[in-house]
Amino acid sequence: MRTMEIPRFPRKFDNRELGNLERTRLSQTVVMWPTQAIALVGYMVWPNDAALREELLRVLRSWPEGSKSVPPRLHRIQHEWLRVADVFHTYCDLIDGQHQKRRGGPSIGKAITLVAAKAQSRGTGVANLWHCWKKYKDVAHLVTAATLVCLDVRKRFGDQSLGPFALSADQYGPFQMTMLMPDLVLAAALKFEQHGLNHVPFAQSEPTFDPETVWRIPAGINVEPFPHLVRTVRGQGLAILGARRAGNRGRANKRETTPVFA
């Protein structure tokens, strides 16, 4: 079992006034909880490479000293986070809506089918979605929470100026949200972590998250679970899953759910 090493927040986070919290944090670029934020980002960027994670932490810790270093591939990494968030949030939607109960229940494969079928942007093909999931599955609850915070901020403040020292709207990304609001990201991630650890897909003996490798949020860090947005899977999505069931369940289905990567 792996638990992240994140220090306890000095104050308990149970804030339900998201608008006020987000406005306050976004009105400046000063990181309020740098120790917690830097540690959290390290796990999210490099969940399974301790050496690269430590190098990232060194770069981030140099920022208060005036360093202009930017973590390599940060833009690409955030793009991959968005793909993982699409998949895992869709998976949680299937769980919350109790969909597919007569057909084996929710699974990551079904979530990937839905995301790939409905997405319009590049990098959302089935093979790439599986690749991103494999890479970040042990922190999927964290990147999904950070992405949702980012989406909420863009919806609330995307067309507003929050002051001379605030980030501009085009700087709103999951990385920036995690740095400025690590307590909110962790609070939202707690609920997603519960989904990943508590739901056991049909015909499997282990939950969606591997209990031995997923990065768990430590207990006692002064953060309470914050409920995430539950979206309804409507007719189009159900029709996509229906076509997946009714189609060829042999070679085509195998290519879709267990791709081979070079």
The residue written with tokens 């998201």 in the block is 18
In this structure, what DSSP letter does residue 170 have?
Answer: G
Q: What is the pLDDT of residues 148-207, one digit of tens each?
A: 998 888 888 777 777 766 777 777 889 999 999 999 999 999 989 998 998 887 667 789
pLDDT at 82 (0 to 100): 92
pLDDT at 252 (0 to 100): 39
pLDDT band at 54 (very low <50, low <70, confident <90, very high): very high
The one-letter amino acid code at 178 reads T
Rg from Cα positions in the chain: 19
pLDDT at 258 (0 to 100): 36
223 bridge partner residues: 13
Taking the model in full, what pTM does it have?
Answer: 0.82
pLDDT at 121 (0 to 100): 65
Contact 197, 214 (CB under 8 A): yes
Return the H-helix or E-strand segment holding 215: strand 215-216
Task: Using a pLDDT cut of 90, give the percent of the chain over it.
Answer: 41
What is the distance between the alpha carbons of residues 32 and 44, in angstroms, rounded to a whole number?
19
Contact 194, 58 (CB under 8 A): no
What is the distance between the alpha carbons of residues 3 and 153, in angstroms, rounded to a whole number?
28
In sequence order, what are the residues at sequence separation of 6 or more whose Cβ sits closer than 8 angstroms to the Cβ of residue 99? 93, 106, 233, 238, 241
Q: What mean pLDDT, rounded, does the chain reach?
A: 80
Q: What is the pLDDT of residues 82-136, one digit of tens each?
A: 999 999 998 888 887 765 555 567 889 888 988 888 776 666 788 999 999 999 9
pLDDT at 52 over 90: yes
pLDDT at 171 (0 to 100): 78
Q: What is the pLDDT of residues 207-257, one digit of tens each?
A: 999 999 999 999 999 998 877 554 444 444 444 445 454 433 333 343 333
